[in-house]
A and B are shown apart, each in its own frame.
Chain A
Amino acid sequence: MTALVEFAGLGRTFGSGPQAVVAIHDAMGAIEQDDRIALVGRSGSGKSTLLWLVAGLDTPTHGTISWPALGRPKGDPFLVGTVFQVPSLVPTLTAVENVALPLLLHGVAERDAFATADAALERIDLAAVARQLPDELSGGQAQRVAVARVLATRPRLLLADEPTGRIDRHAAREVLDALRATADEVGAGLVVASHDPLVYDTLPQRWTISDGRVAVTGALR
């Protein structure tokens, strides 16, 4: 199976000279379509940095990274879908409009974009809140809308950065279920960065990151 992402000797340093902060140090790994990975580490350990590098939204300062099965995914939500720590919804758009937004940005016709968005929300039981603004949603609902937005673009790789960080236990479980179901449905690789035990109890693989060094510590499938 062709890897979605491969990286070796990957490094990311912020700043320079004595002020330089090494966020990722000599990381090596690969992600495939059926991977379900929990990226575990303390706050500031480099989880988010690694995810951004993998998503192609940031550029490494050392090493190499490639996306053999994705081409160059830089910011393309049809290739890499990202769910952030806080619901990254546009506050002035309703749930369904937020879900349709990446489609509209990529030139999908308005009618088609909204049909897809409605279907995505329905798929994860959010049809009832489709016309509500983000401020009117609970934290868990908003995070699930972000998951639905990923579902709508059917990406090949799904990344989530602390998606349960600011929501309660019940909502966190719903979000994780939604992420897994989405990954399974579209056949995407899934990486969830978190220090929440629920995450690494739920996902079969675990990568541990500490001081920017990545190690495979959990069971492999």
Chain B
Amino acid sequence: MIGLWLAGLIRHRWRRLAAAALGIALAVGLMASLGSFLAATTATMTRRASAGVAIDWQVQVDHGPAAPVLQAITADPGTRAAVPVTFAATPGFAATTQGTTQTTGAGQVLGLPAAWARTFPLAIRVLTGRLDGALVAQQTAANLQVQVGDTVRVRRAGAPPYAVRIAGVVDLQQADSLFQKVGAPPQSQLSAPPDNVLLLPPAAFAHAYGGRSGVVTQIHVRRSHSLPADPAAAYVSETGAARHLELVSGGAAVVGDNLGSVLGSAREDAAYARILFLFLGLPGAVLAALITAAVARSGAARRQREQALLRSRGATSGTLWALVLAETVLVALGGAVVGLGAAAVVGAWMFGSVGFGAGMTASVVWAGGAVVAGLLVALVSVAAPARHEIAGRAVARAGWARPRWLAYGLDLVLLAVAAALVIAAGRNQYQLVLAPEGVPSISVSYWAFLAPGLAWVGATLATWRLADLVVGPGRRLLGRLLRPVSAGLAPTAALMLSRQRSLIARSVVLLALALAFAISTATFDATYRQQAEVDAELTNGADVTVTEPPGSPASQGVVQQLRGLPGVADAEPLLHRYAYVGSDLQDLYGIDPHSISRATSLQDAYFQGGTADQLLRRLATTPDGALVSAETVNDYQLSPGDTLRLRLQDQRSGRYLRVTFTYVGIVNEFPTAPKDSFIVANSAYVAQQTKDPSVATVLVRTDTSPRQVAGHVRAVLGPGPTVGTLDQARGLVSSSLTSIDMSGLTRLELAYAVLVAGAAGGLVLALSLNERRRTVAVLTALGARRNQLARIAWAEPVVVIVMGVLAGLLTGWGMSRLLVTMLTGVFDPPPSSLAYPWTYLATVVVGAVLATAVAAHQVLRQAGRSAREALRESLT
């Protein structure tokens, strides 16, 4: 019986079954594809996070000899290499060059074996000279005005200075973690690494500090990066290994777990990726379910007739249920198979994997979960409405029933609660994920999901209310508005629409939701990409950045030379000096505030107390103006207009000169600047005061591929300067979620949104209009001419399109703002404005409108056949 019934359905109702299965397939496909994205993303996060760590472990030997600790480290199966390193503090360094003597404040001296630089290549970069010998850090070299071959004297407490000849100047790329206080909590860590650092070969270090107290031994370890793909699992595994070492060393070793630390951040990013899935994916899946429900509902009358017929032939409720469930399972399985197949193809194409999870188990769970979700959607949308029919009750007339919530104002309540939740989350800086260091579990503020969830539901209901209001009580106004479409029949058309207000509201809501989903997803994705670019540009400085080696700064002529290169849109010089603010040595950047924006993008979020334009204008109008970090403002209790007396190095004499600046505003971030405190001032003033216009860095904006331009720059300037490109920076920005390539997810979601918008606009209206065949047939039989038929029949698509598009644009805009606000934690730096992908949005809206119009035209064309056929068909 069931087989016969299903065979009949497949033969005669295949279009409607296929449409319902398509809805399920959309929901299943989206969820499974997002599973692929999550799998690919989290694995990428683990890989990229661990690849960016210079030194995985810094194991400090707290007491006793280092040898047993080294032995325990080497015995650990995860250890790939271990190198002992010694640290000693110095009261300062001194150097005499060109007849003058420069001294520094306190610093650090390290004893590094030759293997250290080879084992940890990310930790050190040679700027000039070679690695085999005493090396001086870049900033120290600037302070002491030393170059390769010069002698530096290391002051020692209670002993004469120890002199070494400098073999190279280096950049310690992850100095923050290298000079961490191992084992100390984050709040006790140094706010900045030491300004003065000297690196000695082990023999020289032993000579300088052998037998002296205060020498700290660390063993630097490179770990195996064959970690679990999931950052949370990798974090647990890695931190577990670190604690195990501390245990087996009997307390002699304390592990500074840099690898665990970045994996901790990565698991936070992974949690955000899951949040993205929920924020961006779930509404899409729910929308697909709603479309399926609409498709299923449009077949309710047919099912009711068939069930009445079966009942009259003696079918029991049990038999009817079995048939309904069989139809449900058929639709669910069909949809699930198509959805999973599509997701596998999409996964292979976009994420390089047909699996839906990080491993086999996760794949099975994701695929199974997606299928179960598909079955649930089918049960809710196909089987549940049948219960009235089976119970023998009349099906509520969809076109007439008015939902009760309209009277209670549920939509307004939900929107108000959502707004309150957003405000509450704002008080916590929208911190949705908390990953405390050292704690294996992370906490995700899932209650924050309520805000967008309620906003979606509230906006949906509000759209319903609006459509109901316009089509119902606003019928007379609608009649007037429809005059351009329905001419003299507009009042009749409005009257007919008013009797189907719930059906019209449903179509409007589905179209609006589909468009809102597309708009919010696309806008979020575009903003995300925009911020990823901003992050990369902030790191690199510009499309191409040319950094001169220390000691050989470029002249302004180089800037002119670069401006003349092919592909260069503009080039802007950036002066770089060191300045003492009190006892704190800070980087000082000299810029031309009139023209700096031509070469790099300055976001409003980089500044405080005004937009980027406003603060640059303020700087431009104050020749001795200076923008300083918020930390400096707090530390020194500065107010705008205050005088800053800084000590800047005179390049010629090497001496520090007292230079007066006027504090004009706060800068938090600036291209190429470090994360900690720095100062931005007018380059002309800096050059004049230091009697040195030399340029440290040139920021280059390109109008072609940065890589190509970088090639031209290298060809012109030779091997001396370091040329960095935006492409390289994209690869380096590994700590934030914005570094994850979202292009796959973007393409997936945007393609999905187009499909859903088309389905919502076309499929639902087609099915809905199909139900209106009888009306068209009656009108034809009453002698209505084709143009009269069109005037009445086009009223519905036009109302649905206009209201759906308007509500969709409004909801999409609101949800975009809400998503970007709630997901502030995903962005680094936070966006100052949303990025709207206008072309895509126009494509989606036009696509949905066209799909709706084509569906309406097709239905009307069929209905416009001979009156006899139409009427006969409509009555069967």
Please give the residue numbers on chain A whose beta carbons come within 8 Å of chain B beta carbons, in ascending order.
48, 52, 57-58, 74-77, 82, 84-86, 88-93, 97, 101-102, 104-107, 110, 133, 135, 149
Contact = CB atoms under 8 A, between A and B. Distances in A.
Nearest to A53: B868
Interface stretch (B108-116, B494-502, B549-557): B494-502
B868 A93 contact: no
Interface residues of B, number: 27
B867 interface: yes
Contact of B499 (A76, A107, A133, A149): A133
Interface stretch (B119-127, B652-660, B778-786): B778-786
Given A88-B871, A92-B499, A102 B397 contact: no
A92 B493 CA distance: 10
A93 B496 contact: yes
A104 B492 CA distance: 8
A91 B775 contact: yes
B489 interface: yes
Nearest to B782: A102
B779 A90 contact: yes
A106 B784 CA distance: 8
Contact of A57 (B397, B488, B868): B868
9 smallest beta-carbon distances between A and B, as pairs: A75-B783, A92-B499, A92-B496, A102-B782, A86-B875, A88-B778, A90-B775, A52-B868, A77-B783
Interface string B775-818: 10111111110001000000000000000000000000000000
Contacts, number: 68
B449 to A, nearest CB: 40
Given A77-B783, A106-B783, 18 more contacts: A48-B868, A57-B781, A57-B867, A57-B868, A75-B780, A75-B782, A75-B783, A84-B871, A88-B871, A88-B875, A92-B495, A92-B496, A92-B499, A104-B489, A104-B492, A105-B779, A105-B782, A105-B783
B491 interface: yes
Nearest to B397: A135
A75 B867 contact: yes
Nearest to B783: A75
Contacts of B781: 57, 75, 82, 84, 88
Contacts of A93: 495-496, 499
Contacts of A149: 782
Nearest to A74: B783
A102 B783 contact: yes
B193 interface: no
Interface centre among A57, A74, A85, A105 (most CB of B within 10 A): A105
B774 interface: yes
A58 B775 contact: no
B399 interface: yes
B595 interface: no
Given A82-B781, A85-B875, A110-B491, A90 B496 contact: yes
Contacts of A133: 400, 499
Nearest to A88: B778
5 contacts: A75-B780, A84-B781, A92-B775, A105-B784, A135-B397
Contact of A58 (B500, B866, B875): B866
Nearest to B780: A75
A59 to B, nearest CB: 9
Contacts of A88: 777-778, 781, 871, 875
A150 B779 CA distance: 14
Nearest to A103: B782
B319 to A, nearest CB: 26
Contact of B488 (A76, A82, A85, A107): A107
A97 to B, nearest CB: 7
Contact of B875 (A57, A84, A110, A135): A84
Contacts of B788: 105
Nearest to B771: A91
Q: Which residue, of B488, B777, B783, has the highest number of chain A Cβ atoms within 10 A?
A: B783
Nearest to B496: A92
Nearest to B868: A52
B869 to A, nearest CB: 10
